[in-house]
A = this chain, B = another copy of it.
Amino acid sequence: MTAQKNNTKSISDKEFTLEEFKLILSSLSQRITEPRLDILSILKSNHNPLTISEIHGKLKNKKTDLATVYRTINLFAGLRIVNEIDFKDEFKRYELIYDRHHHHHIVCRKCRNVENVETCMLDELENLLKKKGYSEISHSLEFFGLCRNCRNDSDMKSA
């Protein structure tokens, strides 16, 4: 239950996504290297946005340097295949966006668990800003709250 991967159908999945990653990199004229593929699969297989040091800790090849993670993530962010998120705690977090549509997050103030929030009504606000003269508008939106589990913790002590 520790370092074991679930082997049921993950082998072909893994190969599929690997090919996918290679295509993305080469279509952006970027070299296909081990650290880059490694980081992409880490981001792909984690549903929550990760910090630089979390990514570094999950790397298959432990020789990969922290500096490489910084360089790679900054490259990916510049290429817009990775999104940088600030959850108002100490570290910036990063998530893959090349294959996902625009979404936001709700972070539990206590356990720091993250859920996605798919939303749409923000478009109206963006339209309002367009009327004010702005163009090329985007936004970032994060919610913070106490999740059900953490609220129950406070209410009763143990579930």
Contact = CB atoms under 8 A, between A and B. Distances in A.
Interface in A115-158: 115, 117, 119, 121, 124-126, 129, 132-148, 151
A95 interface: no
Contacts of A139: 141-144
A139 B119 CA distance: 14
B109 A136 contact: yes
A133 B115 CA distance: 12
Interface in A60-75: none
B124 A121 contact: yes
Interface residues of A, number: 32
Nearest to A124: B121
Nearest to A147: B134
A121 B117 contact: no
Contact of A129 (B117, B129, B138): B117
23 contacts: A84-B88, A86-B86, A86-B88, A106-B129, A106-B134, A108-B134, A117-B125, A117-B129, A121-B121, A126-B143, A132-B148, A134-B146, A134-B147, A135-B146, A135-B151, A136-B145, A136-B146, A137-B144, A138-B143, A138-B145, A139-B142, A139-B143, A139-B144
